[in-house]
Amino acid sequence: MELYFLGTGAGMPSKERNVTAIALTLYDERGTMWLFDCGEGTQHQMLRSPLKASRLEHIYITHLHGDHIYGLPGLLTSRSNQGGTSPLVLFGPPGLEALLEPVLRLSQAHLSYELIYREVSEGPVFEDDRFEVLCAKLDHRIDSYGYRIVEKDKAGKLDAGKLKALGIPPGPLFGRIKQGETVTLSDGTVVDGKAFIGPPIAGHKVVILGDTRKCESAVALAADADVLVHEATFDGSLNDLAQAYYHSTALDAARTARQAGAKALIMTHISSRYQEEETRLLLEEARTEFEQAWIAKDHWSFPIRP
């Protein structure tokens, strides 16, 4: 599992940063990837990356401002041209389908796959046997959401050494015991599989927020996250401007991470007033409140480890 940042700028593209798009690669877990927001030029950024649109399974849109959605028509049609045939689920706020469908229809876009719309509201928006995705409303000028991606706990490791000590050789019995079954050996010994399995392995928790001012719902959504991705449009000296435009400062992001008990903070959605060297100001400011903080940049990746 890895986060790959395709666009990390705020409002409009600059020479150093494209507008928002973040990929979560789930190649080991699902053989697919999920995309969070799709600003203008995302498909171009993807061409310069190791990512393939054909492997997209879900797209999650945080809100309907242009710097988060204007890349959708191009990416969706290019996915067809690049051989994408599997269904693609598009999650987003009310109005996303009404906004996008006329563009696809009037441009006579041909999609070689099924495009499925899922309108989001607060609460669970997706769940299967491996992942759950939850959604909460943030504090922005229009409805803006954050997504909490929870990987469900995995079964504990089998203590193979303990089984071998009982004279149980590797083979089909190992598999049954690993499933927690109770098995009877040829000599009549009854083996409780649960006694040979370690504690469950905690799954990862990743939280990706849309544009927002600092708010309690962000803190709640990010509780105990392995990684929190939070906008940091301005530095603390521009707090009044951030409040007026419903955005966050680097200090706001750091305080949210600290209050939530997150393990790592990645700041994105950086104003173009901060050129590459000037982003150090944002990072230094954030680390006064939360040490495990980073500033994302385009084509930067962050592996998510236990």
- Main-chain dihedrals φ then ψ at residue 82, nearest 5 degrees: -95, 10
Say if residue 269 carries a ligand binding annotation. Answer: yes
pLDDT band at 306 (very low <50, low <70, confident <90, very high): low
Say if residue 68 carries a ligand binding annotation. Answer: yes
264 DSSP 8-state letter: -
Alpha-carbon distance of 150 to 292, in angstroms, equals 21
Q: Which residue of the set 67, 226, 235, 252 is catalytic?
A: 67
At 197 the pLDDT is 72
Say if residue 65 carries a ligand binding annotation. Answer: yes
Q: Rounded to two decimals, what is the model's pTM? A: 0.89
Residue 79 predicted with pLDDT over 90: yes
Alpha-carbon distance of 160 to 150, in angstroms, equals 29
- pLDDT tens digits, one per residue of 126-156: 999 999 999 999 999 999 999 999 999 877 6
- Main-chain dihedrals φ then ψ at residue 210, nearest 5 degrees: -80, -170
- pLDDT tens digits, one per residue of 92-133: 999 999 999 999 999 999 899 999 999 999 999 999 999 999
* 240 counts as catalytic: no
More confident position, 191 or 21: 21
Residue 165 predicted with pLDDT over 80: no
Closest CA to 266 of 20, 15, 11, 18: 20
Query: Interior CA angle at 263 toward 257 and 267, to 5°?
Result: 50
- pLDDT tens digits, one per residue of 191-219: 776 777 767 778 899 999 999 999 999 99
Say if residue 110 carries a ligand binding annotation. Answer: no
Sorted by where each starts, the structural domains of the chain and their CATH numbers stand as 2-154+200-300 (3.60.15.10), 160-196 (no CATH)
Closest CA to 193 of 211, 214, 166: 166
CB atoms within 10 A of CB 275: 12
Say if residue 67 carries a ligand binding annotation. Answer: yes
